[in-house]
Amino acid sequence: MDNRTTINVFYLNVFSDNEQLKCLFFVLFLILYLVTITGNALIILLTHIDFHLHTPMYFFLKNLSFLDLCYISTTLPQMLANILIKHCAISLPACIVQLYFVLSLATSESSLLAAMAYDRYVAICNPLRYSVVMSHNICLNMVAGTFVVGSVHGAIHTANTFRLPFCGSGVLNHYFCDIPPLLKISCINTYVNEVTVFSVGGVVMFGCFLLIFGSYMQIFFSVLNIPKESGRKKAFSTCVSHLVVVFLFYGSGFITYMRPKSNQHADKEWLLGIIYTSITPLLNPIIYSLRNKEIKGALQKLYIHLQV
């Protein structure tokens, strides 16, 4: 039993020993990280300084960018270190903290995407009631609720995971501490953990996904009533691009957490992790913000101001 419970260091091991390939990975992910940080920080700055963007939609976008900044910074620096250092080590306390923030931020983002979809539904389908339904206080409560849900969800699964004893060398076939690779090195049966992840996580993720999907279906039906074909095409293009990012985020999350523990393709799980921890934070500011006329206008005014 002592040998089973005294692991206090985990080793992250997913990348090839090929030095040229590792250099390529490092450059690609470093660029991805810098672009994501820059894009999301720019959205936060623009929505803060331009009073034309002090609306519920951009309030949600600002919080989404903040979540994405935190989310990608929780995992990608660890990946960059993992590429440079063979069998990159992470202490038990650091692993616990990282898992908690990954889970809580992912759940908060999931809930916030649902709140944003509801905001667009009210704006398009009930425009006359929009200012009442989406008042400033209601928006504040919705955002606060997403952080509370994320914090509670992260605490439940983190505590449930690290009550397990771990065996062997403590090597995780991943680039950050996550539930599936940790369950694989547990010494005991993890059925209770898997059921908890499937039930609690499934209710939160599936509930948010249904709200998003239902909101966009209502938006689609409303868009069909737009008389101008150009207006319909623009609305459909916007909705489809939003749904693509949502499907990437939820799809990779569902596959990662909602399937039973298996040794098959265990060395490829980190690829799914890249989608929901790195790709979606990169796409969110592009899809949700930088394509908007208001954001482009604010960016142009900021550029002119800096030039002066």
Mind listing the domains of the chain with CATH numbers? 2-307 (1.20.1070.10)
Q: For 233, what's the count of Cα atoms within 13 Å in the CB-facing half-sphere? A: 3
Q: Which residue has the tokens 């700055």?
A: 45
Q: For 199, what's the count of Cα atoms within 13 Å in the CB-facing half-sphere? A: 7
Residue pair 96/158 in contact by the 8 Å Cβ criterion: yes
Quote the CA–CA distance of 224 and 124 in Å, as a whole number. Answer: 12
User: pLDDT grade, residue 4 (50/70/90)?
Assistant: very low
Closest to 97 measured CA to CA, from 114, 74, 71, 131: 74
User: pLDDT grade, residue 286 (50/70/90)?
Assistant: confident
Q: What is the mean pLDDT of the chain?
A: 86
User: pLDDT grade, residue 303 (50/70/90)?
Assistant: confident
Integer-rounded Cα Rg, in Å, for the chain is 21
Quote the CA–CA distance of 72 and 60 in Å, as a whole number. Answer: 18
Residue 2 has pLDDT above 50, yes or no: no
Q: What are phi and psi of 262, to 5 degrees?
A: -150, 150
Residue 222's H or E segment, with its range, is helix 202-223
Amino acid at 18: N
Neighbours of 198 (CB within 10 A): 14
User: pLDDT tens digits for 5-17?
Assistant: 467 899 888 776 6
Amino acid at 77: P
pLDDT, greater one: 149 or 22: 149
Output the pLDDT for position 268.
Answer: 67
Output the pLDDT for position 63.
Answer: 95
User: pLDDT tens digits for 224-262?
Assistant: 877 777 667 777 777 788 888 888 898 888 888 876 555
Residue 265 has pLDDT above 70, yes or no: no
Output the pLDDT for position 281.
Answer: 92
Output the pLDDT for position 60.
Answer: 93
Residue pair 97/43 in contact by the 8 Å Cβ criterion: no
Structure tokens at 28: 């690609």
Check the CA dihedral 121-125-131-137 and report its sign: negative
User: pLDDT grade, residue 1 (50/70/90)?
Assistant: very low
Residue 78 has pLDDT above 50, yes or no: yes
Residue 93's H or E segment, with its range, is helix 92-125
Q: What are phi and psi of 258, to 5 degrees?
A: -95, 0
Residue 95 has pLDDT above 50, yes or no: yes
CA 180 to chain centre: 17
Neighbours of 261 (CB within 10 A): 17
Residue pair 7/96 in contact by the 8 Å Cβ criterion: no
Tell me the pairing of strands 171-172 and 88-91.
Answer: unpaired
User: pLDDT tens digits for 169-213?
Assistant: 788 888 899 999 999 888 888 888 889 998 888 889 889 999 999
Q: What are phi and psi of 164, to 5 degrees?
A: -80, 145
Residues 126-142 have a mean pLDDT of 92
Closest to 67 measured CA to CA, from 183, 179, 138, 154: 154
